[in-house]
Amino acid sequence: MEFFKIVGSGNDFIVIDNRKNLLKNRKKLSIKLCDRKFGIGADGLLLLENSKKADFKMRIFNPDGSEAEMCGNGLRCILRFINESSISKKKKLKIETKAGILDGEIKGENIKVRIKIIEKPELDITIPVNNQNIVGNYINTGVPHTIIFVDNVDKVNLSKLGPQIRHNKIFGKSGTNVDWVEIIKTGLIKIRTYERGVEGETLSCGTGVVASAIITSLKHRMPSPIKVITKSKEILKVYFNDNLENVYLEGKTLYTFKGTWIEK
């Protein structure tokens, strides 16, 4: 089985062309392939499939086998895959996801994609953690994110606080991704993200980058565009209009290698 490895600002994905629908047990496959010791290793598995509503469909599976509704960096990577593999010559494509149909534009290594805000953001919510209250801000950018502002993101004990907030009962059964945000200056923020499904910190999270930029704008009246420094040190750019109907994520992608997975 042929696979491709593509990276979006440190978020690495295994990409497989499944337009012939040959892969059936996607959950089991994702767990096996994403394992960094006994598999290929990745933050997620992306499957390119046929769509009746758009140019193509993207399905995203986490290392724990769960299927994600959306992934901003994953969407950028699958567009790079479509272009590099000459599956389509179009530079502007519409991709079906579980979070709706999203459009993207291919500019070589640089990929720009639209992100939809699914629900009205909730600001200044109280999150009870270890007999203290943490103030967060909730937004759904295809998947749920909770944004917490801090003076220094590098000092956050993410491995301890991440799971406690991610599984907090106020977010229900599905939980939330968690992003800590440090404002550097107007137009520039820095973030760290704890991701559901990965159950740990990732070098980048596209929907988290967008979520953090939008909440920063709402809370601190920061105008578009906003540049976001990710854990990988790569900078992504978020564009948006006042009513948040047109929100875009833009940044570079890295096409690292392709190979053959030997079925076991």
Question: How many CA atoms lie less than 13 Å away from 186 in the CB half-sphere?
Answer: 4
Instruction: Give 151's contacts (C-beta < 8 A, 6+ positions apart).
Output: 182
**Residue 74 DSSP class:** H
Instruction: Give 236's contacts (C-beta < 8 A, 6+ positions apart).
Output: 9, 204, 206, 209, 227, 228, 230, 249, 250, 251
Q: What angle do CA 256, 259, 261 make, to 5 degrees?
A: 135
Question: In the beta sheet, which residues pair with residue 43?
Answer: none
**Cα 264 to Cα 259: distance, rounded to the nearest angstrom:** 16
**Cα 30 to Cα 19: distance, rounded to the nearest angstrom:** 17
- The catalytic residue positions are 71, 205
Helical axes 72-84 vs 206-220, angle rounded to 10°: 130
